[in-house]
Amino acid sequence: MKTYKESVTSGGRFGRLVLKALAVLLLVHGFSVGLHAAEMPAGKWVDLTHDFSSETIYWPTGEGFKLETVFEGMTDKGYFYEAKKYRAEEHGGTHIDASVHFAEGKETVDEIPLDRLTGPAVVIDVSERAMKNPDYLVSVEDITGWEKVNGVIPGGTIVLLNTGYGRYWPDRAKYMGTDEKGPEAVKDLHFPGLGPEAAKWLVDNRKVKAVGIDTASIDYGQSKLFETHRILSKNSVPGFENVANLDELPAKGALVFALPMKIKGGSGGPLRIIALVPESR
C-alpha cells in the first residue's frame, strides 16, 4: 500500500500543489512543517464520512438519498459510458448545519469561511456514559474533565463529540431509537447530544470553530426546542452531524478538513470530512 506521501506525489505537479496547500494549512494551524513535498509529515488519514446510499439515515420526516442511473453501457459510438443522478435533502447522512439553519439572516452554507471548516480538532469521548443513556447530554463537566487530562482547548479548535453511537450506523432503530418514519416518529427519537449549557460554555469560553457529533443531531433526540442548534447558529458555529469513525482519532492532535457541497443559499449540505493524524503528534 502506498504511503500518503507516495500517493500524492505520484500525481505529479498537481500532487505537489496539493501538498503545498496542505502544508500551508498545517503551518497556519501550528504544525511545524515546510513547503517541500519531502517535508510533509507522514500520518494517518481517517475518513469521517458515512457513504451516501439507500441505507443513509435521514430525519424521520425527510426523504432518503436516491441514486438513479441515467445511462450505463456501450454507446452507439462503441465506448463505455456511465452517468447517474441523485436526489437528497440538505440534512441527512454526514452533513453540515450552516448557521442560517436555526438563525435568521446568518451564514448560508456557501458563506461559511473556509477557516471555520479546517483546523486542529479535539475528540471528547463520552461513550461510556452515553451508551448507558440514550438521552445523554454532553455537559460542561464532560468538557472540563477532558481538559484536566489533555489541557485547555485552544481557541479556534474544532470540537468532535464521540458518543459511541457511530457503531450503530446504519441500523436506524439502534442509531435513532426508532426505525419508523414520518412526523409521528419524531417523539420516539432517542440518541445523545450536546447540552445547551455546554454549547454556550464552548462558545463563550473556548471560541470554538465548529462542533461535530456522531449522532443524527447536535441536539439530543428528545429535544423539542433545539436550543443547542440555536446557540451555535447564533454564534456562527457550524455543526457537523452523523460524523463517522471518531473512535479512530486521538483525543487531540488531528487536523480536520470538513468541506460541504457548496449550495448557494443552502441551510446545510452533504459533508466530506476527513482528518490527518500526523505520526509525530
Residues with a catalytic annotation lie at: 101
Rounded to whole angstroms, the Cα distance separating 151 from 148 reads 6
Query: How far apart (Å, rounded) are the C-alpha atoms in residues 5 and 40?
Result: 7
C-alpha cell at 60: 424521520
Distance CA 249, CA 255 (A): 10
Q: What are 169's three cell numbers?
A: 450506523
DSSP 62-126: SPPPEEEEEEEEE-TTS-EEEEEEEE--SSBSSEEE-GGGTSTTS--GGGS-HHHHEEEEEEEE-
Strands (E), the chain: 43-47, 66-74, 80-87, 95-97, 118-125, 137-138, 158-162, 193-194, 210-213, 239-241, 252-260, 268-278
> What are 158's strand-pairing partners?
121, 210
Instruction: Note if the bond before 192 is cis, omega within 30 degrees.
Output: no
Q: What is the DSSP letter of 42?
A: P
CB 48 within 8 A of CB 242: no
Closest to 93 (Cα-Cα) out of 229, 276, 272: 272
